[in-house]
Amino acid sequence: MYVKDYMQAVIMTVSPNDFLSTARHIMDELFIRHLPVVLEGRLAGILTDRDVRQATPSNNERTAREHHDARHEMCVSDVMTRQVYTVSPETALIEAAATFLEQKFDCLPVVDEDRILKGIITGLDHGIGHFMIFEVDSGAQAAVPLSSRLPQTS
């Protein structure tokens, strides 16, 4: 089994130059937590709900910021994660699952050798959360449901 068999091929993306409020609106409307950031067709980074939360002012700060000139609104490039782990469509699913676990990721962008975005895979895609990982323990292999080892999301 390969990443290409489980990835979401049709995904929403944003540009580094898009306003953060636009990206936040897309995430809210589509109930998604990750937006790949694409520049000239290539993956430039990823915007996560965590990035957005950290950049969004608290209620106390919001009043002061409401009066801030709209021309100075933050862009996606101001808060996106630039160093992004990726996988290729040909990556073995078990290798992607190991990356999820080792790095404590919720998603991995899928790119080709030129960093052209091909899709995204998450721990919840098409039952990957139930994918079985085989671990070597005292010379024996034991099947462990991946869903029991994936980081819990809130």
**Cα angle: 130, vertex 135, 137; to 5 degrees:** 140
70 located within any domain: yes
Tens digit of each residue's pLDDT (9 = 90 or more) over 110-125? 999 999 999 999 876 5
Read off φ and ψ for residue 136, nearest 5 degrees: -90, 120
CB 144 within 8 A of CB 22: no
Task: Determine the pLDDT at residue 66.
Answer: 56
Q: How many domains does the chain have?
A: 1
CB 17 within 8 A of CB 75: yes
37 located within any domain: yes
131 located within any domain: no
Q: How confident is the model at residue 149 (pLDDT cuts 50, 70, 90)?
A: very low
Q: Are strands 132-137 and 117-122 parallel, antiparallel or unpaired?
A: unpaired
8 located within any domain: yes
E-state strands within 42-106: 42-48
Instruction: Determine what percent of the chain falls in helix, strand and coil, rounding each to the nearest 5.
Output: 35, 30, 35
Strand partners, 32: none
Q: Residue 9 belongs to what domain range? A: 3-123
Q: pTM (2 decimals)?
A: 0.73
Task: Determine the pLDDT at residue 126.
Answer: 45
132 located within any domain: no
Give dist(CA 118, CA 112) in Å, integer. 7
140 located within any domain: no
76: domain CATH number is 3.10.580.10
Tens digit of each residue's pLDDT (9 = 90 or more) over 21-74? 899 999 999 999 999 999 998 999 999 999 988 887 655 555 555 545 444 588
64 located within any domain: yes
152 located within any domain: no
